[in-house]
Amino acid sequence: MTRHSPPPDPPPATGTISVRVMATTDLHMHLFGYDYLADRPSGKIGLSRVAALIWQARREAANCLLFDNGDSLQGNPLGDYLAETGTISPRHLHPAIETLNALQYDAATLGNHDFAFGTDFLRRVLEGASFPFVASNMRARRALPILPHLLLNRSFRDDLGKLHQLRIGVLGFLPPQTVAWEPALQSEITVEDILTAAQSGTAVLQQQGADLIVALAHSGIGALAPNPMMENAATALAAMPGIDVVIAGHTHRVFPSPDHPQGPGIDSVRGTLAGKPAVMPGFWGSHLGLIDLRLKRCDQGWHIADFTCHAQPVGPEDDHHSVTAPALSAHHQTLRHLHRRIGRTSQPLSSYFALIGEDPGLRLVTMAQRWHVRRALAGTPWQDLPILSAAAPFRAGGRGGPQHYTDVPAGQLTLRSIADLYLFPNRICALRLTGAELIDWLERSASLFLQVQPGLPDQPLIDPDFPSYNFDVVDGLDWQIDLSQPPRYAPDGRLAHPDSQRISGLRHRGQPVAPDQPFILATNSFRLSDCGLFAGVAAGRPVLLDSGARTREVLRRYVALQKVLTLDPQNGWSFRALPGTSVLFETGPAAAQHLDGLSRQVEIVGLGPDGFLQLRLHL
């Protein structure tokens, strides 16, 4: 009689695990749904609005992860006030960290703007976090409370009710250009290539048994093909083996979205980069990124069987108490601080027409910069050189939307007005440049404009991929811009059309500027970077002044000395005449109230689908 062994027990049934990954990015200290520069609530932004979406998402899904993707600590007057008062300590947590603690974030990374107030301030802020920060491509010479990689152990329940232990690997990346944008960081940190750091970080996490690897990439969605030191590396990062999920940021876009450009490896409808689930949840707390994963187990471990990606916009709900409770005191202190009076203006100061050559607020910034540099260089070998001053409109629409403009009414000027006029905590610097180098500077700036065909009507004027903060005007010079010529430079500073010359008629005090004529140019510390649009003309030039004075503080002192301001709104340049040619220029709807003070004749076309006011300008 043959004996048979009993059949083996069937393997235990394993269900599918549903995991919801939530993400925020580029909050820039917008903890509340409040516009500090307009001094009014906003229903379209704010972590306090996102918080309602976070708690709702948690009620809908049992297994959740919540990440922040950097640039949370700087970007509005609340962040500036907290950095200036110096009250952050282990006993007095930074309100941004308190709110992220209260919302139970699992992990976060850093963005380039998180270093704006220095590493000592950043260290004090991060020490209050109850969740880990990870930055895989950054090394600090003096230790920061940041990990190069992270393994989160989480208990997730599958759809059969069984509990599983999953190990979630997390990598974090900031732009490799961070130190170049803020040269003062050169002695503090180093930032390496994102893809190089990702390769080594992924290997470590895989050796540690990670079931899933999430990349928190404070980096934009760029080319699929890898390049060394990519600023916008999210697509190339997603293509790397071992990376399962990508959270992107930095460029203030929304992904997935029908408005996001498609491209190789980029599916802006499905929400994939190189076939991997990805999201970029806007900026300032405008959206919550949601990636719903369906995980199944196989012989090699857990894998993503299906997913959906969504960027959910915030609604006009009331501010959620999980944010308002820890941050309310700092919010009220900031409002009181911003209401401090410092001077008066006899005219409105708005940026609605900055991109067509009229912006009295921008003129005020350049005057204050020149005043500071002249005083600082008195008694030096350069005191007799002519001083010019360059500045750009930081708030001039673009991705910030039709309300993103400086608009200071005539009358009392307060610290809120100063913050509206100059948004970033840059330092004033001074370079020595020649006339030829100034022309190159202006060519780069004039690349904001699209090429137009002479004789045709209603052609678009502004390149939407060119940020207004790179549109420098140089006070003290006069010049013309020929729009019939193509832009000489691409928005990232690459030479696009070497034979093109848009700038002509450059004059100083009515006299032609010679190519070798020396000048001092007052500018900001961001322009000292050895990357970006102005790197080819600014990097390596003699720096005559970099004393650490913040532009906004100098502007405050200058306004206080003037008492009452009356400013010429024209910024020294004009378009070369092209008879029979017209262009369409987009600006904020409130610009209609300021047309009477405009020296250029424009016609109202109407509101566009995105809420901008369209104006017709005859060249």
Range of lowest pLDDT (6-10, 555-559, 582-586): 6-10
- What class is the 341-455+467-575 domain? alpha beta
Average pLDDT, the chain: 94
- Say yes or no to pLDDT of 573 above 50: yes
What confidence score (pLDDT) does residue 299 get?
Answer: 82
Which one, of 247, 313, 312, lies nearest residue 276 by Cα? 247
Residue type (1 letter), 31: L
- Give the HSE-up count for residue 573: Cα atoms under 13 Å, Cβ half-sphere: 29
Higher pLDDT, 594 or 91: 594
Task: Name the band, by pLDDT with cuts 50, 70 and 90, for residue 547.
Answer: confident
In this prediction, residue 568 carries a pLDDT of 87
Q: What is the DSSP letter of 397?
A: S
Determine the pLDDT at residue 540. 83
Q: Are 207 and 266 in contact (CB under 8 A)?
A: no
Mode of pairing for the β-strands spanning 564-565 and 407-408: unpaired
Q: Which of 580, 615, 577 is nearest to 462 (CA)?
A: 615
What pLDDT is attached to residue 298? 87
DSSP string, 296-357: EEETTEEEEEEEEEEEEEP-SPPPPHHHHHHHHHHHHHHHHHHT-EEEEESS-EE-TTGGGT
- Say which residue, 496 or 300, is predicted with more confidence: 496
Render pLDDT for 361-403 as a digit per residue (tens, 0 to 9).
999 999 999 999 999 999 999 999 999 999 999 999 998 999 9
Confidence of residue 482 (pLDDT cuts 50, 70, 90): very high
Under 8 Å between Cβ of 616 and 603: yes
Q: What is the pLDDT of residue 586?
A: 97
Dump pLDDT digits (tens) for 222-259. 999 999 999 999 999 999 999 999 999 999 999 999 99
DSSP string, 16-71: PEEEEEEEE---TT--SSEETTTTEE-SS--HHHHHHHHHHHHHH-SSEEEEE-S-
pLDDT value, residue 1? 34
pLDDT tens by residue, 106-156: 999 999 999 999 999 999 999 999 999 999 999 999 999 999 999 999 999
Q: Domain spans of the chain?
A: 17-333, 341-455+467-575
> Could you report the per-residue pLDDT of 255-273, keeping only the tens digit for each?
999 999 999 999 999 999 9
Phi, psi of 368 (to 5 degrees): -65, -40
Task: Summarize the confidence of residues 204-215 as an average pLDDT.
Answer: 97
- pLDDT for residue 527: 92
Two structure tokens written together for 236 = 């190339």
Q: Considering the domain 17-333 in this protein, what is its CATH number?
A: 3.60.21.10
pLDDT tens digit sequence for 321-345: 889 899 999 999 999 999 999 999 9
Question: Which pLDDT value is given to residue 531?
Answer: 83
Would you place residue 565 in the very low, low, confident or very high pLDDT band (cuts 50, 70, 90)? Answer: very high
Structure tokens of 420? 């509206």
**SS3 per residue for 476-529:** CCEEEECCCCCCCECCCCCECCCCCCCEEEEEECCEECCCCCEEEEEEEHHHHC
Supply φ then ψ for residue 170, to 5 degrees: -130, 130
Residues of the chain with pLDDT > 70: what percent? Answer: 98
CA distance 577 to 583: 12
| pLDDT band with cut points at 50, 70 and 90 for residue 5 | very low
- Measured CA to CA, the distance from residue 447 to residue 481 in angstroms comes to 10
Contact 76, 95 (CB under 8 A): no
Helix, strand, coil percentages in the chain from 3-state DSSP, rounded to 5: 25, 30, 45
- pTM to 2 decimal places: 0.90
Dihedral over Cα of 159, 160, 161, 165: its sign: negative
Between β-strands 411-414 and 518-524, what pairing exists: parallel, antiparallel or unpaired? unpaired
Determine the average pLDDT of the residues in 144-172. 97
What confidence tier does 8 reach under pLDDT thresholds 50, 70, 90?
low
